Amino acid sequence: MLPELLRKADDHRAVRNVTRLTTLFVASLWVFFAYWAVSSRQETISAAGNGLSQMAHAVEQYSTNLFKMAEIFQVTAERWLEANSSNDPRTDAGFVALVEDFRNRTNNLIDIRMANANGDLYYFPNDQTQPRDNVADREYFKAVIDAAPGLRHIGIPVVSRVSGQWRLPVTVRMKQSHRGLEVINASVDLGVLISAFESERSKPNGTIGLWKTDGTLLVRAPAVDALVGKKMAENWLELERIRTRPASWLLSETSPVDGEARLVGHARLKDSPLVVVVTATLADTLDSYYRQLLRIFVVLVLVTFGGGVFSARLVRALRAQERHAAELQRLARTDPLTGVFNRRQFFEAGQQEFSRARRYGNTLSLLMLDIDHFKVVNDTWGHPTGDRVLQALAEIMSSIVRGQDCVGRLGGEEFAVILPETELSGALISAERLRAAVAQSAIAFASDDGKVVRITVSIGIAVSTADDVSFEAVLARADKGLYAAKESGRNRAVAS
């Protein structure tokens, strides 16, 4: 039995090893995938954030140059007025030509307007000296009219009441009033500026915006007119961080404009309370990452499935081999006709039980039985019916004995039963129960034509003693008991 147990243990170990190795391999792939997914996501976000930071710096340079140009225009206009104090700029051809030159050099991005202390606004050229609008109610005019001269103010964008266009006012109060004119307004065409931002923003959902450091939105591409001039979510801009780090990027979980999670690159304009904000939605940023993640995920699922199929087939093959080996072992151990132990296996089991009984001081009993007049059965009804009788007897014996008892066929119509830890009294009870069950049975013919065969058995009983040196000694006494049962009339059990 030990070699068989060792063989089964080896087979089970092989199955476990295949399962464990396959599981370890697949688990390692998924762990690596999880690690890659986390690290690659962070790398993708960092790379996109750095790109946005660089774009914010480029837009900051553009915006700085724009406002510097507006400042130069204003300074140049003021100096012209100082140099031509006797001329009225509203009608002077030289000043009008200067303004038109400014306008043309910026492709109409920047225009020069002037206003008096009452807010009357003058355009150039202007056929009349009458103002085109009054801007006393405008935020940008209020911010500079009472301010110190030379203090430049970037105002909230407004819709011109003359042209109907969005304009970004850059306003300064002159050092001296000139023919009643107090304020120079370098008006930036917001549509042109937005177009410039629009061409550079990340598509499809990225934005480029110009904000005041207090969180007020001035310019945004794509444009959202309703948000212009609105003060929005100071914390989103992390103003303190912007003040200490002129150019950087951050991840905003919720945009104040559309609620989207966004990467935000920002750069503060030099010498100006403005900050450029360049964004890309987290979804857009991670779009290619998710597509790659999905492809790898699908491959891993297929590998996992393939590994599972391979492992399952290998396990089935190993188990089939195990079953085949077990079947071979069973065939080597059992009688092919009756399914009980064959002679060789019965003697091996007997030796083990005999040794165990000697080791622990127990008693071993043995029943040896033979079918009465079995030759008559074969001669009268044929060998197929004889085989059916042998099978039926084995079935009866297996149903009568205990689970720890061993039933074997020694040859022909001769059977034996090992009864471990059983005294003579118990052996006699078992033998009588077995004899009575056989005598009361009706065994159907092999041809199943409705006829039955009735048989009896003779049984010899032997109990191990301290003088026995081997299992064969006990078996020999049981054989004598069997002979005595036959001699005394059959269909009985005799102890020897």
DSSP letter string, 194-261:
HHHHHHHSPTTT-EEEEEETTSBEEEEES--GGGTT-B--HHHHTHHHHHH-SEEEEEESS-TTT---
DSSP label at residue 130: S
Instruction: Give dist(CA 232, CA 95) in Å, integer.
Output: 41
- Residues, the chain: 496
Q: Residue 58: its pLDDT value, please?
A: 93
DSSP label at residue 440: T
Q: Residue 418: its pLDDT value, please?
A: 95
Q: Residue 3: its pLDDT value, please?
A: 45
Q: Is the separation of the CB atoms in 462 and 496 below 8 Å?
A: yes
Q: Residue 240: its pLDDT value, please?
A: 59
Instruction: Give dist(CA 171, CA 165) in Å, integer.
Output: 18
Q: What percent of the residues of the chain are helix, what percent strand, and what percent coil, each to the nearest 5? A: 50, 20, 25
Helices 93-105 and 2-83 cross at an angle (nearest 10°) of: 170
Mean pLDDT, consecutive 10-residue stretches, the chain (496 aa), reads 46 71 87 93 93 92 93 93 90 91 91 94 80 92 91 93 92 92 94 91 91 88 88 59 68 76 88 89 92 93 86 78 74 87 92 92 93 91 90 92 92 94 93 93 74 91 92 94 94 92
**pLDDT tens by residue, 230-267:** 887 555 555 556 556 666 888 877 777 777 888 888 88
183-219 CB burial, b ≥16 within 10 A, e <16: bbbbbbbbeebbebbeeebbeebbbbbbbbbebbbbb
Instruction: Give dist(CA 475, CA 481) in Å, integer.
Output: 10
SS3 334: strand
Cis check: omega of the bond before 222, within 30 degrees of 0: yes
Q: Is the separation of the CB atoms in 339 and 392 below 8 Å?
A: no
218-227: long-range pairs with CB below 8 Å, 24+: 218/154, 218/156, 218/157, 218/168, 218/274, 219/157, 219/168, 219/190, 219/193, 219/194, 220/194, 220/257, 221/194, 221/195, 221/197, 222/194, 222/198, 223/194, 224/257, 225/166, 227/257
Instruction: Give dist(CA 405, CA 417) in Å, integer.
Output: 7
**Residue entry with tokens 């199929």:** 309
**Residue entry with tokens 């790379």:** 47
SS3 405: coil
For 262: left if phi > 0, alpha if psi spans -120 to 50, otherwise beta; the answer is beta
CATH number for the segment(s) 343-495: 3.30.70.270
The domain spans of the chain are 84-191, 343-495
Distance from first CA to last CA of the chain, Å, rounded? 30
**Residue entry with tokens 């089964």:** 8
DSSP label at residue 269: P
Q: Residue 405: its pLDDT value, please?
A: 93
Q: Tell me whether residue 404 is exposed, middle or buried, using C-beta atoms within 10 angstroms of its C-beta: 0 to 12, 13 to 18, 19 or more.
A: exposed
Q: Residue 324: its pLDDT value, please?
A: 78
Instruction: Give dist(CA 268, CA 123) in Å, integer.
Output: 32
Task: Identify residue 393 by its one-letter amino acid code.
Answer: L
Q: Which residues contact 360 (CB under 8 A, 6 or more apart)?
A: none
Instruction: Give dist(CA 243, CA 23) in Å, integer.
Output: 53
Closest CA to 473 of 343, 346, 345, 351: 351
Q: Is the separation of the CB atoms in 156 and 225 below 8 Å?
A: no
**Residue entry with tokens 């307007």:** 113
Q: Residue 241: its pLDDT value, please?
A: 64
For 249: left if phi > 0, alpha if psi spans -120 to 50, otherwise beta; the answer is beta
CATH number for the segment(s) 84-191: 3.30.450.20
Q: Residue 262: its pLDDT value, please?
A: 87
Cis check: omega of the bond before 204, within 30 degrees of 0: yes
50-53: long-range pairs with CB below 8 Å, 24+: 50/249, 51/265, 52/202, 52/249, 52/263, 52/264, 52/265, 52/278, 52/279, 52/280, 53/247, 53/248, 53/249, 53/265, 53/266, 53/267
**pLDDT tens by residue, 359-415:** 998 999 999 999 999 999 998 888 998 999 999 999 999 999 998 999 999 999 999
Q: Which residues contact 198 (CB under 8 A, 6 or more apart)?
A: 208, 221, 222
**Residue entry with tokens 């110009």:** 210
Instruction: Give dist(CA 187, CA 168) in Å, integer.
Output: 6
Q: Residue 442: its pLDDT value, please?
A: 83
Q: Residue 34: its pLDDT value, please?
A: 93
